[in-house]
């Protein structure tokens, strides 16, 4: 089993933005990015179910509760402003430039996440913990 580099996972970028926002280091709300991320993750989960990667799907679901749903609930009363949408687009473009610099792309990362041979860092460690203790 191989681990996908954490900087290749856009959800981690959004979660870091959320942490910076909560700590008052970022001024734009990540609410829009979290909502879009949750919607995109639903498609990823359906793909995992379709590919019969159910164990990975459960871990993926648990992780996203903690890095997307709970953060979203904590800022649910934030209004989504146009500057927040622009910030999301800029972050997404920066992420894609980062992937390009590292000689990969979003489609390749998407296929890795949906494969049986690769795991995100968090899912890799959670699967190892579950395998060891359950």
pLDDT in tens, 20-43: 999 999 999 999 999 999 999 998
For residue 110, the model assigns a pLDDT of 85
Q: Check residue 134 and give its pLDDT.
A: 66
> Among 10-14, 34-38, 56-60, 96-100, which stretch is predicted with the lowest mean pLDDT?
56-60
What does pTM read for this prediction?
A: 0.89
* Better-predicted residue by pLDDT, 57 or 91: 91
Across the chain, what does the average pLDDT equal?
91
Give the C-alpha separation, 31 to 27, whole Å. 12
Which of 89, 112, 88 has the alpha carbon at shortest distance from 8? 112
Residue 2: strand pairing partners:
118
Tokens 């993750």, located at residue: 41
Q: CB pairs under 8 A, 24+ apart, for 28-31? A: 28/81, 28/83, 28/84, 28/86, 28/87, 29/75, 29/78, 29/79, 29/80, 29/81, 29/84, 30/71, 30/75, 30/84, 30/87, 30/88, 31/72, 31/75, 31/76, 31/78, 31/80, 31/84
**What's the CA dihedral at 62, 53, 9, 7 to 10 degrees?**
100
C-alpha–C-alpha distance, residues 89 and 110, integer Å: 18
């Amino acid at each position: 089993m191989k681990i996908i580099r954490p900087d290749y996972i856009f959800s981690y970028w959004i979660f870091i933005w959320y942490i910076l926002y909560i700590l008052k280091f970022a001024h734009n709300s990540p609410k829009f990015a979290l909502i879009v991320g949750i919607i995109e993750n639903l498609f990823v989960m359906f793909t995992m179910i379709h590919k019969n990667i159910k164990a990975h799907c459960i871990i993926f679901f648990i992780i996203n509760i903690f890095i997307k749903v709970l953060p979203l609930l904590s800022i649910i009363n934030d209004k989504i402003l146009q500057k927040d949408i622009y910030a999301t687009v800029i972050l997404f473009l920066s992420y894609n430039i980062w992937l390009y610099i590292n000689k990969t792309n979003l489609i390749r990362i998407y296929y890795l996440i949906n494969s049986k041979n690769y795991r995100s860092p968090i899912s890799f460690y959670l699967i190892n913990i579950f395998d060891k203790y359950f």
